[in-house]
Structure 1
């Protein structure tokens, strides 16, 4: 029998895991906060930098698109290189983007800074999921994913609240970007002190061609949908639309061809074509539309349609924060206790549809307490869906593929968010113009056309301001209804997912184990059981798993 000294260490204790997660969750919180903190500041930013509704949407979309396009790259790097070093690199890039955004004096410069922030956010999101997946068995991962979901909940919905306070304070909107810098530095220090995971070097083969095709194809389609239908650019049915849509589809078709042939694909078709992963991806796209679309345009609704200050708009998002937090933490704890997860995905999808559908009944006169109830239901649905979709996927892949699989789900969620903000923003801008024109005509007011719906109503005459508020309120209801229709896709997808028991080991059990037990000599049952126990110990050890993954 081998010496005890040669045995790998046992699985990490709860205390060890929490210590390791401290800096990781701090970095993750900073990334999520940076993507949402500008939501309530955007009307002020657009007024200061002379932006339009299209610019408003693209300040969010630029970061989400960069996030989506780079998340699979970070995920693959997580499977190949030191995860701790990659997280720290992501934070450094994030700080650079945040400083640049805070110093921006023009919309193009701000968009460039948001792209840099998005690249870093892609890394932090993918690497956080990958590190959790490499340390914790799926059976126990529910509660830790719940902690991450809680952080995401507070960052996603709490960002607009903090952003509102900052905009109304003497600091001004630029500090919505600067405030993330010290948070990132603190996360960097915590990571250096607390995160201790073993790295085994593996040969690196990055699929750069696939990365370029992926980024180009997605970007082209999102740029098309953002400007199509705008009289200043091109119609939905035009040669420009045909060229951009055709080009985007062609690039993505080439991506599929490349990914089927390269040795280390950026999005492994074998992984994303697995039933659970494929269905989780469809659901994640719908969740992305709901999550980013609601948090982005909800703050605008409160400020523009209801006349709230940025601080008040942030406070009015508290019900969604509470719902998201409760849904994430409670479902995570219950999953760890019972091992059952599908029921929470189904319940989350139903609540998501219900919350968005109720949001579709709002207008510029809806009682604010009703809006709070509607957004709380929406938050519950988001909290029960986001992290548990990742958990379902991680339970079906081997530990060496966890980084790529987790990044793939996060990628498609970010794509959904980028599509949602871009498409819903374009629909909102066009619909506001239509409703405002109808309101002006009914009131006998002459109004000149513009390049986008105006976001600064303070200097408008009272009759014009009232018409614009009504137009924004009614148009916002329509985009919530569209998002609710998208959420139906999430419900269908999670209903079709087959629930598999959450395994208690970090990696998938190899078939050789059962074969060994079956072939054991007569009378050796005790020895086989001892071997099984040693096998369980090895599999529950993240160090052992990382070692085996590198061979």
Structure 2
């Protein structure tokens, strides 16, 4: 594909990615008001985030496997439709239970968009050229990350809109992405028999869900050391073992276990798990810090996180361009892990009255680290697999990152709740005030007496800092894992180019040098079709056109 054709298709993919990230970040600054309005507490606050991460995590391997078997274009458009419907339902929610349920459905669509965007890019572009285009995705991630809280804050602070519009505002972007992808995305499809491993998908989803439910409820609904813990952890382990057994026998496994024989894939998957814990845990609770520890408005809470997003934008873009130019990627992973660990450690020292310039430096360091690691872990994995496993391998990295994020948000949310409650009790006792109720709700600072407000602000400042201290060692583990990864030179051919060439060679060898197997409508079909749309008739393309369309940009065709 020419650079122009790639950018046209990439614009639709970036819109889809923008929607997926926006849906997560736009509620961050609105959550305190949403939970207060719907009558929830810290547990509901955590679950609104965790629900979408849970379903996104559980569905990612299935989306990836389906991408290896069916039309990628159809799948990514389907994920957008699911997202739009769930967003409308979330905006209409009248209680936290309904909101959490629709957020879970949103996660299904988000999982598809997050996984399939990487897969489609890998299909179009060679690993060597993919760096700069991945940088564009990283920039989109940064814009959505900073734009989400800002948009959410403005919407929440605007009386004639209200927080419900935080869920409606993503719908036009999703519709626009659908239209753009329909007009610009043309992918040759190497036909394969579709046989989905539903048993494996159900088992991995159940195992992950049970584990995350345990992490969220432990220490709140029941003790960490209890029969409920034993039952849930034991059940999750049994489901995981059953998943491994089913996958080892499945003809088309959701997660091909043979992938983990590759050292790089194993290490990048584990690194993604720990990066997810640190990354999501670090960003989700910043809004609580700024609003409840520093008394800022939702809008200002978004503005104050700009240093982190600027760091992410800069590092993802620059590292992508330099990787394409030099072919070296490991140095960026290692540097990113160092910066991620350092940023978390620095944020662990903050309090409610810490000077903002110190926070800005810490957030910028954190953002630089995240930007260097997030896309490049996927790139390192995609460079190691055959075209037929591209979707599954890409989704494995996304799966472990989402799993880490869900575990991080759940576990660190539980830690935050307990830390804040303890600090509030100590603070109130120090000023001779007796606490009433269980203290599990999100406080409205404006209604509190000045001495009590100071106690609550200090408690949230100290409590949020504590979770960064818990996240820093997790990032350090990711650093160790990245050091163990062996750098492999990036390939210069895209996934679809390799797949089409291999299919054509196999058919030519089987049919003879003068005979080419054709599709019904095109004599030169060579076993490939072009995605013309998710429900219309697939228009066939000649083998030479298909191979050309799958070729990476070489600078000659502009």
Report the TM-score when normalising by structure 1.
0.90
Whether 1:105 and 2:112 are equivalent positions in the alignment is no
CA deviation after TM superposition for structure 1 residue 162, in Å = 1.7
Q: Deviations over 1:382-439 (max 9, x none)?
A: 0000001100001111122111111110011001110010000000001111111111
Of the three residues 246, 271, 277, the one matched with 2:265 is 277
Equivalence for 1:9 = none
1:129 to 114, 118, 124: 118
1:8 corresponding residue in structure 2: none
Unaligned 5+ segments in structure 2 are 506-543, 553-558
Aligned mate of 1:409, from 393, 397, 402: 397
2:409 is matched with which residue: 405, 421, 435?
421
Alignment correspondent of 1:210: 200
- Pick one of 96, 108, 122 that aligns with 1:119: 108
Q: Give the SS at the match of 1:199.
A: strand
Aligned CA-pair RMSD: 1.9
Question: Contact (CA 8 Å) 2:340, 2:366: kept in 1 or not?
Answer: yes
Query: Aligned pair 1:198/2:176, yes or no?
Result: no
Name 2:162's counterpart in structure 1: 172
Say whether the 8 Å CA contact 2:494–2:551 is kept in structure 1.
no
**1:68 positional shift:** 0.4
Q: Summarize deviations over 1:140-191 as a string: whole Å, max 9, x none.
A: 1100111111111222343112211111113111111000011111111111
Q: Is the 8 A contact 2:65 2:391 kept in 1?
A: yes
How far off is 1:201 after superposition?
Answer: 2.8
Runs (4+) off by over 3 Å = 507-510, 537-545
In structure 2, the CA distance between the partners of 1:398 and 1:61, relative to structure 1 (3 Å rule), is same
Residue 252 of structure 2 corresponds to residue 264 of structure 1: yes
1:149–1:329 Cα contact (<8 Å) kept: yes
User: Per-residue displacement from partner, 1:464-498 (whole Å, max 9, x unpaired)?
Assistant: 11111111100101101111111011101110000
Q: What SS does the corresponding residue of 1:504 show, helix, strand or coil?
A: coil
What is the distance in 2 between the residues matched to 1:169 and 1:538?
A: 52
Q: 1:358 aligns with which of 346, 351, 354?
A: 346
Please state if 1:286 is matched with 2:274: yes
- Residue 449 of structure 1 deviates from its aligned partner by 3.7
SS of residue paired to 1:181: helix
Shift of 1:228: 1.2
Query: How far did residue 540 of structure 1 move?
Result: 6.9
Question: Unpaired segments of 5 or more residues in structure 1?
Answer: 1-11, 517-536, 546-551
1:475 corresponds in structure 2 to 463
After TM superposition, the structure 1 = structure 2 runs for residues 101-500 of structure 1, keeping only pairs within 5 Å, are: 101-170=90-159, 171-230=161-220, 233-450=221-438, 452-500=440-488
Q: 1:363 to 1:384 in 2, by over 3 A?
A: same
Cα deviation digits, residues 266-304 of structure 1 (max 9, x gap): 111111341111111111112212222222101110001
**Segment of structure 1 superposing worse, 301-310 or 249-258:** 249-258
C-alpha contact (below 8 Å) 1:364/1:473 kept by paired residues = yes
How many pairs were matched up? 509
> Does the CA-based 8 Å contact 1:41-1:163 persist in structure 2?
yes
User: TM-score, structure 2 length as denominator?
Assistant: 0.88
